[in-house]
Chain A
């Protein structure tokens, strides 16, 4: 399905076990920061920021929207923790940036070089989100998509 996503919209994909939210990147630059290095991620206006969480419900959706807001509107950096960091399993949201995002529930630590793969709940495995002018093309998703104001 193709959905319209304006720059003041957030689209929320509600599954039974997982939730995904996405907004337009608006061509802004974002920072990817690790312990020893910082990388600037350049985007096209139509690119998407996609956030995924293992969970459903109002709290999860608020968390996803908050994450997207912090990244796009406040310019918060994307933090990459060192492998094995104790905080890793406690984090609730994962994020992908770019033209295309593939969701997978079979990602193993450090085993996928592709940078367009995002971990998600099992039911969302295989879902693909592609940026298109004015919106997003979503393939492999049978659930509901809700559009909300992103502000």
Chain B
């Protein structure tokens, strides 16, 4: 994707294949994509997909 240089070449963020997560440790809710999800707030890997 083009990002730092790239609004022009990236579609809408809403179109990306993201998942909603919730951290089991701190309760932080966030949207993410990729492997090995981790809470961006407390760095815990104890996260699960939000229903």
Contacts and interface: CB of A to CB of B under 8 A. Distances in A.
Interface in A3-62: 27, 29, 31-32, 34, 36-44, 51-53
Interface string B1-24: 111111111111111101000000
Contacts of A34: 12-13
Contacts of A42: 32-38
B48 to A, nearest CB: 14
B31 interface: yes
A117 interface: yes
B15 to A, nearest CB: 7
B35 A43 contact: yes
Given A29-B38, A83-B8, A39 B1 contact: no
Nearest to A68: B4
Contact of A91 (B5, B31, B40): B5
A96 B2 contact: yes
Given A31-B40, A95-B4, A115-B16, A41 B33 contact: yes
Given A39-B16, A42-B35, A78 B4 contact: yes
Given A83-B8, A95-B5, A27 B33 contact: no
A91 B4 contact: yes
A41 B35 contact: no
Interface of B: 1-16, 18, 30-38, 40
10 contacts: A41-B32, A42-B35, A43-B35, A44-B35, A44-B36, A83-B8, A88-B5, A89-B8, A94-B5, A97-B3
